[in-house]
């Protein structure tokens, strides 16, 4: 079959990309305009842009060091492994908290085991675009005196109790990299309501180098290629050429930089369409959720009460890896690509000083070994949704 549904996609038109060329003329700061638009969309006091979400985390942690000498930063044991890098770059220590099989993110009930007088910050992460209530975490933060950075990389626009996640803690970070609900190929945002933190973050951001000239020249072409290759009619026939760019390796560093004006123009345009994209993702995600929820072979994450998920991906945890492999192969045959996300928990990829003889985070390992993500983006058509449901029904 030629046509194939990719694992992730953002419908970005060539016309939208052409608008970016405005940035090559005049002195207007499109970055500043995008930051204002983003802050307004999120309902946050301040928003700052960066070349990556990773950079935004690094700058936030650096800013916190002006307020506290504490050294530990807590993340879930199953998450994007490169979160270790900004923590270490800021001279801090990553600490893992066990993951929950019910939410596929940090198990907040296990947090009291890992926070102490040296905890500087905790990062709740809304994996796959599922928002969760963080009141108990915010209460614990107040009691123990640590900061909360909501990692909303995968959940921009997701709501809980009518509030956007990413604005509930001290700050929120967002990624605009490939595979997110709205993407400018790369990029990251940081929002905060704290004027004190914003002042330091702004100063630190202004000290970062700008994107290189060669990047500014290349980005229109990169975005055009990105817009084209994620379309099912191109993704299928050219899969062999695209596949090497799909898999990300485990990095050992990153270069903090500013965002670019070209991307900021695209970002402002996509931001206006984000609610529309999220509505489509929610609709398609819920059709899949309702159809798969009682399947005895799998576990789906809980949808929190009064929440609006934005289905960055549709995550399925299989009780047996054999079943996962079978489903992956059958969906591929039917023209639907799937993803495996993080194949190992964080402490299996980076040496964080945890005992290697004993598995300290069995839930994180369970998720890493058995998780398959299904597409839930706007290019997923109803016919493909039916095919997905059919494959699961036949198990
Ligand atoms: C939850 C989460 N946090 C942080 C990041 C890092 O984002 P970036 O690649 O923009 O640095 C990602 C990216 O995949 C992510 O999914």
Whether residue 246 is predicted with pLDDT greater than 90 in this model: the reply is no
Q: Confidence band (pLDDT; 50, 70, 90) for 243?
A: confident
Could you tell me if residue 91 is inside a domain? yes
Q: What's the pLDDT tens digit per position in 122-142?
A: 999 999 999 999 999 999 999
Give the other-Cβ count within 10 Å of 182's Cβ. Answer: 21
Is 167 close to ligand 1, i.e. is its CB under 6 Å away?
no
What total of structural domains would you count in the chain? 1
Over pLDDT 70: what percentage of the chain? 99
Which of these ranges, 33-37, 117-121, 224-228, 240-244, has the smallest mean pLDDT? Answer: 240-244
pLDDT of residue 250: 78
Whether residue 248 is predicted with pLDDT greater than 70 in this model: the reply is no
Could you tell me if residue 125 is inside a domain? yes
User: If DSSP codes are grouped into helix, strand and coil, which group holds residue 271?
Assistant: helix
Could you tell me if residue 52 is inside a domain? yes
Q: Confidence band (pLDDT; 50, 70, 90) for 249?
A: confident
The whole-angstrom separation of Cα 79 and Cα 88 is 16
Could you tell me if residue 136 is inside a domain? yes
Could you tell me if residue 77 is inside a domain? yes
Residue 105 CA to ligand 1 center (angstroms) comes to: 14
Ligand 1 pocket mutation, candidates 99, 106, 153, 185, criterion most atoms within 8 A of CB:
153
Could you tell me if residue 314 is inside a domain? no
Give, using CA atoms, the residue closest to atom 12 of ligand 1: 153
Is 46 close to ligand 1, i.e. is its CB under 6 Å away?
no
Q: Which atom of ligand 1 is nearest to the CA of 187?
A: 10
Which of these ranges, 53-57, 180-184, 290-294, 355-359, has the smallest mean pLDDT? Answer: 355-359
Residue 296 CA to ligand 1 center (angstroms) comes to: 31
User: If DSSP codes are grouped into helix, strand and coil, which group holds residue 171?
Assistant: strand
Strands 188-192 and 46-50: antiparallel
Q: Domain range holding 75?
A: 14-207
Q: Which atom of ligand 1 is nearest to the CA of 177?
A: 10
Could you tell me if residue 141 is inside a domain? yes
pLDDT of residue 163: 95
Residue that has been written with the tokens 């509505």 in this structure: 279
Whether residue 300 is predicted with pLDDT greater than 70 in this model: the reply is yes
- List the CATH number of the domain containing 147: 3.40.640.10
Could you tell me if residue 185 is inside a domain? yes
Residue 241 CA to ligand 1 center (angstroms) comes to: 24
Give, using CA atoms, the residue closest to atom 14 of ligand 1: 80
Whether residue 378 is predicted with pLDDT greater than 70 in this model: the reply is yes
């Amino acid at each position: 079959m030629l046509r194939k549904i990719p694992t992730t996609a953002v419908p970005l038109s060539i016309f939208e990309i052409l608008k970016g060329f405005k940035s090559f003329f005049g002195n207007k700061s499109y970055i500043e305009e995008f930051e204002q638009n983003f802050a307004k969309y999120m309902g946050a006091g301040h928003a700052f842009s960066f070349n990556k979400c990773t950079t935004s985390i690094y700058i936030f942690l650096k800013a916190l060091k002006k307020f506290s000498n504490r050294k530990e930063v807590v993340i879930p044991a199953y998450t994007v492994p490169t979160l270790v890098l900004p923590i270490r770059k800021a001279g801090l220590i990553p600490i893992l908290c066990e993951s929950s099989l019910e939410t596929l993110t940090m198990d907040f009930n296990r947090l009291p085991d890992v926070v102490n007088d040296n905890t500087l910050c905790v990062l709740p992460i809304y994996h796959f675009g599922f928002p969760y209530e963080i009141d108990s975490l915010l209460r614990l933060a107040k009691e123990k005196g640590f900061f909360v950075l909501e990692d909303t990389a995968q959940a921009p626009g997701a709501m809980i109790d009518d509030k956007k996640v990413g604005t509930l803690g001290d700050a929120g970070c967002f990624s605009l990299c490939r595979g997110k609900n709205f993407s400018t190929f790369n990029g990251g945002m940081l929002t905060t309501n704290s004027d004190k933190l914003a002042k330091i973050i702004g100063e630190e951001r202004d000290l970062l180098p700008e994107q290189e000239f060669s990047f500014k020249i290349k980005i229109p072409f990169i975005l055009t290629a990105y817009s084209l290759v994620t379309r099912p009619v191109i993704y299928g026939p050219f899969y062999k050429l695209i596949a090497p760019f799909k898999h990300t390796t485990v990095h050992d560093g990153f270069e903090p930089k500013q965002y670019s004006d070209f991307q900021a123009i695209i970002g402002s345009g996509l931001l206006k369409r984000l609610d529309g994209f999220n509505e489509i993702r929610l609709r398609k995600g819920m059709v899949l959720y309702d159809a798969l929820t009682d399947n005895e072979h799998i576990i789906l994450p809980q949808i929190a009460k009064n929440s609006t998920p934005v289905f960055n991906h549709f995550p399925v945890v299989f009780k047996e890896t054999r079943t996962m492999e079978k489903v992956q192969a059958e969906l591929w045959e039917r023209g639907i690509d799937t993803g495996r996300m993080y194949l190992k928990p964080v402490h299996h990829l980076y040496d964080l000083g945890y005992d290697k003889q004993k598995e300290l985070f069995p839930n994180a390992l369970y998720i890493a070994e058995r998780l398959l993500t299904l597409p839930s983006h706007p290019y997923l058509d109803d016919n493909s949704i039916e095919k997905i449901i059919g494959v699961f029904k036949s198990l």
